[in-house]
Structures are given as structure tokens and as C-alpha cells.
Structure 1
Amino acid sequence: MKLQAADLARMKRVTVSMKDRDGNEHAYTGVAVGEILEMAGVTTGKHLRGENLTKYMLVKCADGYEVLFSLAELDADFTDRTVIVADQSEGKPLPPGKGPFRLVVPGEKKPARCSFQVTELVIKFAKE
């Protein structure tokens, strides 16, 4: 799924907080990844069981950086954490070099999966 600003603008907006490397807290606003996956027709909720639990989401960034998540890590039926694709920080558009989209993963001990300049979310089976 290619990320488009117009698509995200029409979806429900949420704000989450996340600390940076220096321990400063920042508010990010965007769309929950779970909602994006649902809109794209990806298996979620009560249907995320059995073989569907072998699916994962690969996050691709403009600089070639990639991270992945199991779908269960992103689904509200499995976790209370809300991972978002953000387009704003502190109520302002993300600055150049950080946007237009950033994956924000609250509660991680290391911010390694909080990715900048996200360009694509790819769903795959681990059994491929």
C-alpha cells in the first residue's frame, strides 16, 4: 500500500505521545496503523488467527531503511498500544527529513522502529 496524504486526511486522527532519545516527550498526530490496514483489506480483529498470524507488515522508508511488525503487534484485539503513521508533531507538519510520514511506536525501549520518511507499508506472509 502506497501512502497518500489525501487518504490519511480522510481517516480518523489520533494523537500519541512518545519520548525521544533525550527523554523529552512529543505529541504526534496521524492515523492508527490498524485502521490503515483495515481500510486496505488486511486481515484484522477476530479474523487474525491461525495462518493469518504468520503475516507481517514491512515498513519501507525513503532512505532504504526497513522495519517489520507482526500484524498482532498492530491489532487492537492483541495490544493496547496504538502505532500510528504520523504527519504532525506538536500540531505542525513533520519537518523536512522526518516526513511527510513517520511511524510512531509508543512504549518501545529503543526507537529503532520509529521510522522517518515512510513511503510504503507492505503486507507479506512469513511462510513465503
Structure 2
Amino acid sequence: MRRTDARLLSLSLLLTVAFAAQAQHRHADAESKAAAAPTGPVEVKLDEALIARLPQVKAEGEAHGRKLSCEGVALVELLRASGAMPAAPLRGAQLARVAQVRARDGYRAAFSLGELDPSLGNRPVVLTRRCNGADLPAEDGPWRLIVPGESRPARWVRQVESIRVSGAD
């Protein structure tokens, strides 16, 4: 019986060490991904070739009495593809970062990365060039944000000319 107890104890210790090593490895991976995430300001280019390679999504809503049915890319996917937002779920300082969208006329709207992150807020925000089966008219385009589910379209930025991700400081 003692021999069996000793073997069980040895096996138990071996499993404990293995699980601890695996947990430490996962923690180190998470730290290295967090360290690789941008901390300073990042200008997101509205690169048509990059945007064309991203998955297309649909967004519908109403703005200023007009129903819109649009196709474009999820803002979160553009931010990730541009290196402005890590692909891994956000943690730590990344939760205080903000994407500021600026229009040609100076209008601005902001979205926290936490509200965009699929593992947290999962807010759908779509950057589009086409609504209702046609390219956007000049007064709305060339790019526009659609934010389905908001009570009013105040962050549906028209004439988008730049996106900048930075800390909330």
C-alpha cells in the first residue's frame, strides 16, 4: 500500500509541475502579445487594397430620415489589419485606447477599442463606400461609418478622411 501511495504522490507532483509550466507558458505568451501591441498613436491608412482584402459585412440603419443598407468592412478588422489594434483580446493599457474618426469638415467621433473588441463590447461599426447598391454621393463619401444599434446616428461619420488610434490620456 505504501508503494502505491508513493507512486500516486509522485504522479500528482508530476502533473502539478506540468500544469504549472503550461500556465506559465500561457501567461508568457499573453505578456508577449500585450508587449507587441501598439502603445503610441497609430494613423490608420484608408488603403483601398487592404480594405478590399478584408471580409465584407452588411450594416443597415436610418440616418436623417433615409434608410441605408450598406456593405463595407468592420472597423475592428481594419484596425487589426493596420496594426493599430492587437488580434488577441484586449487587456491592460489597450483598454484605454481610442479610435478617433475624423471627417473632411472637421467632425469627429470616437470609439474605445474595448467597445469594438469582439470579446468585450462587440459594437458593430462598419466603414463603407457603398449604400443602397451604389457608391456614396460626394456629400457623404468617399468613406462613411455606419453604427447600427445606436439611438441616433451622431457617430455615423460622413466624409471620413482619417482614423487615429491613441491612448485616452
Task: Provide runs of 4+ in structure 1 moved above 4 Å.
Answer: none
Q: Choose between structure 1 and 2: higher strand proportion.
A: 1
Residue-by-residue CA offset, 1:50-72 (whole Å, 9 max, x unaligned): 11101000101111111111011
Task: Give the greater-gyration-radius structure (CA).
Answer: 2
Q: Give the count of matched residue pairs.
A: 126
Cα offset, 1:25, TM superposition:
3.1
Give 1:43's aligned residue: 85
Cα offset, 1:80, TM superposition:
4.1
In the alignment, the residues of structure 2 paired with residue 104 and residue 44 of structure 1 have an alpha-carbon distance, to the nearest angstrom, of 22
Cα offset, 1:4, TM superposition:
2.5
Q: Which has the higher contact order (CA 8 A, sep 6+)?
A: 1
Match of 1:9 among 14, 36, 52: 52
Cα RMSD (Å) of the superposition?
A: 1.6
Give 2:98's aligned residue: 56
In the alignment, the residues of structure 1 paired with residue 121 and residue 54 of structure 2 have an alpha-carbon distance, to the nearest angstrom, of 21
Cα offset, 1:86, TM superposition:
0.6
- TM-score calculated relative to the size of structure 2: 0.69
- What does 1:32-111 align with in structure 2 at a 5 Å threshold? 32-44=74-86, 46-111=88-153
- TM-score calculated relative to the size of structure 1: 0.89
Is the partner of 1:113 in helix, strand or coil? coil
Identity of aligned residues (%): 36
**Contiguous gaps of at least 5 residues in structure 2:** 1-43
